[in-house]
Amino acid sequence: DDSAFLPKEMEPMEILLSTDSYSPFDRGSSLQVWMNVQSSVVALESSLTAMKCVNTANIATDVAFDVMSLAKFGLEVKDKGLPYGVSVLAKDLFQFHLERSMNNNSSQSSRTTEANFGRQEGSYSKTAINLVNNGQVLSKNIVELIEDGKKEDNI
C-alpha cells in the first residue's frame, strides 16, 4: 500500500501535518503553513543578530565616552596634581554613595552642585561603574556574535 509509505527523512511535524495520502508534490495547506513558519524563524534569527550588532555598537559608543571622561579626569589630575585628584575622587565617591543611599531623591541638591561646580558630583564613580558594566556586556555580545557567525557558517 503506497499510502502507508513515509520517507525516513520527514520531520515529526511534517508527518503530523501531512494529508492522509502523502505526496511530495501535494503537501497540503497545513504543511505549507509549517514550512512558512520554519522559513520565518530563520529570518527572525537573522534580525536578532542584526539587533545584537546594533546594541553592541551602541555599548561600544558608551564605552568610548566613558573612557574619554576618565581620560579627561586623568588630564585634570596631571595638570593640577595628585592631591587635587585624590580630593576630587574622594568627594566624588562620597557623593556617589550618598546619592545611592538616598535612592537619588536629592535632585535639588544635584542641580545646585552641578551649577556650582560645572558637573554632577559622583559622575566619575558612575562613569567607572558604567565602564566596567558596559565592558562586560560588550565582551559577552561579541562572543555571542562570533558564535552566531560560526553557527551560520555551519548551516
Can you give the pLDDT of all 155 residues of the chain as single tens digits? 455 555 666 676 666 666 666 566 666 677 777 777 777 877 777 777 888 888 899 999 999 999 998 999 999 999 999 999 899 888 888 888 887 777 555 455 544 444 444 455 568 888 898 899 999 999 998 888 888 777 766 65
Task: Confirm whether pTM is higher than 0.75.
Answer: no
What's the half-sphere exposure (Cβ side, CA atoms, 13 Å) at 141? 19
